[in-house]
Structure 1
Amino acid sequence: MTRNARSPARGRRPAAARGGDIALPPSTTPVLPAVESFADSALPAELAQELARHGISAPFPIQAATLPNALAGRDILGRGRTGSGKTLAFGLPLLARTAGGRAQAHRPLALILVPTRELAQQVTEALAPYARSVRLRLTTVVGGLPINRQARALRDGAEVVIATPGRLHDLTERGDCRLDQVRITVLDEADEMSDMGFLPQVTRLLRLTPADGQRMLFSATLDRNVERLTRQFLNDPVLHSVDPAAGVVATMEHHLLHVAETDKTALAVRVAARRGRVIMFLGTKHAVNRFCKTLLAAGVRAAALHGGKSQPQRARTLRAFKEGEVTVLVATNVAARGIHVDDLDLVVNVDPPTEHKDYLHRGGRTARAGGSGRVVTLVLPGQRGDVARLMRDAGITPHTARVRPDDPELVRITGARVPSGVPVESAAPAALAAQPAGRHPRHGRPRAGRSRRAASRVTR
């Protein structure tokens, strides 16, 4: 029986355990102990030297735990919160075990699946210098960019493909990508891919990869859909869980600010006018656009990020935010994954999310890599019950306060200030002035050829 069509009678079926963990059956294969430093690992010298050039010597817990078993070829089920270092945890062993190989046209050797375009770009940027050190080519395959350019990049040969499921599915359907040579497959943020409706596409793509290849599945939460993927596609996996099931972070403060409906917008504008960058989440793209216009009119350098923006627009907006040209990123849940900004100490839920996992991933934009940060949620009177349930599900005991726009407690928690009132016409001209890309008449996807930017990034 092939690995992808296993019967549960073989004893591989895990069951969800209390606290969100997945209970795996006992394994007869010894689990290798964690490493204390990258120098103690079995990484190729080129990767160790590249880590040293970046000043990285001590692995984060998720990296220390997973690296020995991943390098040994074991299937990995890893849970770590957003910002815990998962990218290098799977990226280094993937590159190490792929090094020396050369991909044929249209046939990559390794695959990393991620839920969003932003996360795909972040993973590509994080792994690019390490891939270069071992002479591996990366290409990024995402929606919102011309598919024909991505097809050409695959035709030219790329050992490692970093992809969102929808676009990779399209390329395999066209015959531009074949996955029969993929020896290592990574699913990053597997729970989010399930929540976004990608599970059928992910399942189909995994079935196109060789049944005896290595699979690594990383997620911030281990829910029923992750259990389903584990049961179906991982063979005798090692479970590494380095964070609590709820993803609570000791260096992150959580605040619920109870506000009157008539005060909410004015209060949020004052928080946005603080010194330093902040990400502010709202429930819909229309609400994001309206609030962004309000901030610009008040003199706050803000930009919007949501699924209605083309990929080049989204990339320019993120770059402007990271470089400080934009100080407030106003976003929907599209930005809750895949954004890494150093020293971001505040995230504000102007509109509370509906699911605890969305709350955790929004909050994961701050307190990354051992840093500290605050997550503030504005709560209207009619939202108190739902938000209380949200906190229970997330395993969080927040600080609570009732505040008004001129309240000193608001200043203490968020650094809120009165905005200048001098309108900002364009905080980031390239990011804010760009017009939406052309849309496919049936599917709503941008038409191929509308973007002048490269559809994929190949690192040689």
Structure 2
Amino acid sequence: MTTFTELGVPAALATALTGLGITSPFPIQTATLPDTLAGKDVLGRGRTGSGKTYAFVIPLVARLATSARKPRAGRPRALILAPTRELATQIEATLKPLADAAGLRTLVVFGGVGANPQIKALKAGVDVLVACPGRLDDHIRNGHAALDDVEITVLDEADHMADLGFLPVVRRLMSQTPAGGQRLLFSATLDNGVDVLVQRFMRNPITHHVDSAAQAPVEMDHHVLHVQHDDRFDVLVELLAAPGRSVVFTRTKRRAKILTRQLNAAGVPAVELHGNLAQNARNRNLSAFSDGTAGTLVATDIAARGIHVDDVALVIHADPPVEHKAYLHRSGRTARAGARGTVITLMTDDQQADVRDLTRKAGIRPATHRTRPGDTILAKLAPGERIFVSPAAISSALAVAAAASAPARGSSEPAGDSEAGAGASRRRRGGRGRRPASATQGESRSPKQAPAKDGAGKSQNAGQARSASSSRGSGQARGSATRSGTPQQRPASSGGAAAFSSRSSGRRSGR
């Protein structure tokens, strides 16, 4: 088996990786590291959870560590651009342990929080800046940052940047970096306008296609549950009351909010994640999901990329997505880095044609089951004892978790899904959100947590993938259920089935 040292990673950096529990490179790292370490421009394509973050973090740290040059005020030596604040935060969490070992300073900047702490940190000088395009553009326009010292630039999730309309501001930022600098572009796909960036800013880039972005990982089991409208909520509750972590996707922010409320009323601890939440609320809910206080995260497509929490064994498309790429990105919250996972799509009679077209384009052949509450297939897909918690106990546990992760005063503004694409200044009121306790991007944990992990939170040398059944049947009780002692009777769902069964308009809503 190839080692990091054999790929050209400096011995000191390889030792730091070993100290983090990372000894064996993933395919995307094996393919790209010889070229990135040699200073070449590289295009790297790999599915979410494939190890892309370390593939660009390692050569970036290696390059900067070879020079004793100190960063100037407001002028980073390396730049990593990411489309969303969650992804930017998680990239920095992956980067920081290696940067600390090399004596490099890091900083992450994004909107939705106060600008002054970021300005102060920029003034003190940083080696590596991880940034969302809109807030970085604001800092540059206001004279707090400049990119003329950047030696290496990384674009992560470049196709998602294009999807979100970031190309104009990304081009503006890239044009301010030195023409002779190294450029790395990593993405799940290399389309949707990414070519524009490649043609303009990259010099003879070497492209590495590690896997097909149009196919789901083989470790992922796909199922379609054909249900009646009135049965959808009860089927969902039965799946989510099993042990283990689950992510449920809805098409709109409103449905995510309503469904979260209904699940909690039905005795299933859940938190929401969507664009109407303030940054501190996003962080708080991700933290509650990560630490087990809530075993279910109900989210819009804001969580389809860049959000990783260890051991998500089940992804449920409560609302089938419109596009097959969204299906693959959503589903990628499970079956990461070789671990197994289960993906379930709830389908009603009127959705059959859409779901059939969706799965065909996604390149999967799901097992389809006509299902009602109580069917044995539900226990097979989500094994383990069903545990229901009283709504009062759920509220109490979430309140305790919220108090433990309470941010500084002043953050009450709703936050969009990402930075302003055009870079226009977006005035927000205060608010310094805290990083989630253990939500990680692909390969990492928070710097305070060791060992660092790759993909699904497993050490890269974990060896064997765990099955979805074993992860969901491990007996891990939902956080609130554990705190409340014996399992509670399932409370009334306060109209959950009727409210959840309301038909979607079919029109895509903002996330």
* Matches of 2:426 and 2:414, distance apart in 1: 5
2:136 is aligned with what amino acid? L
**8 A Cα contact 1:221 1:245, kept in partner:** yes
Q: Deviations over 1:129-174 (max 9, x none)?
A: 1000111111001111111211111111111011111111111111
2:230 is paired with a residue whose SS is coil
1:400 is paired with a residue whose SS is strand
The residue that corresponds to 2:430 in the other structure is 449
* Matches of 1:292 and 1:180, distance apart in 2: 46
Uncovered stretches (5+) of structure 2, i.e. residues with no partner: 436-446, 448-511
1:44 is aligned with what amino acid? P
2:5 is paired with a residue whose SS is helix
Return the match for 2:79 from 111, 114, 125.
Answer: 111
Q: State yes or no: 1:139 paired with 2:101.
A: no
* Matches of 1:302 and 1:201, distance apart in 2: 36
Return the match for 1:351 from 315, 319, 323.
Answer: 319
1:174 is aligned with what amino acid? N
Q: Which moved more, 1:44-53 or 1:364-373?
A: 44-53
Return the match for 2:36 from 46, 54, 70.
Answer: 70
**8 A Cα contact 1:320 1:326, kept in partner:** yes
**8 A Cα contact 2:87 2:307, kept in partner:** yes
* Matches of 2:8 and 2:387, distance apart in 1: 54
* Matches of 1:444 and 1:76, distance apart in 2: 32
The residue that corresponds to 2:383 in the other structure is 415
Residues 1:439 and 1:46: Cα distance change in structure 2 (over 3 Å): same
Structure 2 matches for 1:322-361, cutoff 5 A? 322-361=290-329
**8 A Cα contact 2:113 2:433, kept in partner:** no
* Matches of 2:359 and 2:328, distance apart in 1: 10
**8 A Cα contact 2:113 2:411, kept in partner:** no
Residues 1:69 and 1:258: Cα distance change in structure 2 (over 3 Å): same
* Matches of 1:306 and 1:172, distance apart in 2: 28
* Matches of 2:277 and 2:195, distance apart in 1: 33
**8 A Cα contact 1:301 1:326, kept in partner:** yes
Return the match for 2:412 from 437, 443, 458.
Answer: 437
Identity of aligned residues (%): 49
The residue that corresponds to 1:83 in the other structure is 49
The structure whose RCO (Cα within 8 Å, separation 6+) is larger is: 2
* Matches of 2:433 and 2:220, distance apart in 1: 40
* Matches of 2:47 and 2:311, distance apart in 1: 17
Return the match for 1:381 from 349, 362, 368.
Answer: 349
1:204 is paired with a residue whose SS is helix
Residues 1:284 and 1:239: Cα distance change in structure 2 (over 3 Å): same
* Matches of 1:421 and 1:54, distance apart in 2: 37
Q: State yes or no: 1:316 paired with 2:284.
A: yes
Residues 1:110 and 1:178: Cα distance change in structure 2 (over 3 Å): same
* Matches of 1:238 and 1:363, distance apart in 2: 29
1:402 is aligned with what amino acid? R
Q: State yes or no: 1:262 paired with 2:243.
A: no
What is the TM-score with the length of structure 1 in the denominator? Answer: 0.86
Q: State yes or no: 1:403 paired with 2:378.
A: no
* Matches of 1:244 and 1:281, distance apart in 2: 23
What is the TM-score with the length of structure 2 in the denominator? Answer: 0.78
Offset of residue 340 of structure 1: 1.8
**8 A Cα contact 1:221 1:247, kept in partner:** no
Offset of residue 417 of structure 1: 6.7
Offset of residue 237 of structure 1: 0.6
* Matches of 1:296 and 1:448, distance apart in 2: 30
1:68 is aligned with what amino acid? P
Return the match for 1:234 from 202, 212, 228.
Answer: 202
1:62 is aligned with what amino acid? I
Q: Deviations over 1:372-422 (max 9, x none)?
A: 101111112212222222212222221211111221112212338766362
Q: State yes or no: 1:225 paired with 2:206.
A: no
* Matches of 2:260 and 2:367, distance apart in 1: 28
The residue that corresponds to 2:26 in the other structure is 60
**8 A Cα contact 2:280 2:411, kept in partner:** no
Residues 1:416 and 1:382: Cα distance change in structure 2 (over 3 Å): farther
Q: Deviations over 1:30-56 (max 9, x none)?
A: xxxxx9211213223321111111222
The residue that corresponds to 1:95 in the other structure is 61
Uncovered stretches (5+) of structure 1, i.e. residues with no partner: 1-34
Q: Which moved more, 1:288-297 or 1:404-413?
A: 404-413
1:312 is aligned with what amino acid? N
Q: Which moved more, 1:183-192 or 1:223-232?
A: 223-232
* Matches of 1:372 and 1:289, distance apart in 2: 29
Count residues in correspondence.
420
Q: State yes or no: 1:428 paired with 2:398.
A: yes
Q: Which moved more, 1:166-175 or 1:221-230?
A: 221-230
1:437 is aligned with what amino acid? S
2:315 is paired with a residue whose SS is strand
2:344 is aligned with what amino acid? V
Structure 2 matches for 1:184-263, cutoff 5 A? 184-263=152-231
1:367 is aligned with what amino acid? A
1:137 is aligned with what amino acid? R
Offset of residue 275 of structure 1: 0.9
2:337 is paired with a residue whose SS is helix
Offset of residue 114 of structure 1: 0.9
1:176 is paired with a residue whose SS is coil
Q: Which moved more, 1:382-391 or 1:110-119?
A: 382-391
1:339 is aligned with what amino acid? I
1:202 is paired with a residue whose SS is helix
**8 A Cα contact 1:303 1:431, kept in partner:** no
* Matches of 1:452 and 1:221, distance apart in 2: 31
Q: State yes or no: 1:41 paired with 2:11.
A: no
The residue that corresponds to 1:20 in the other structure is none
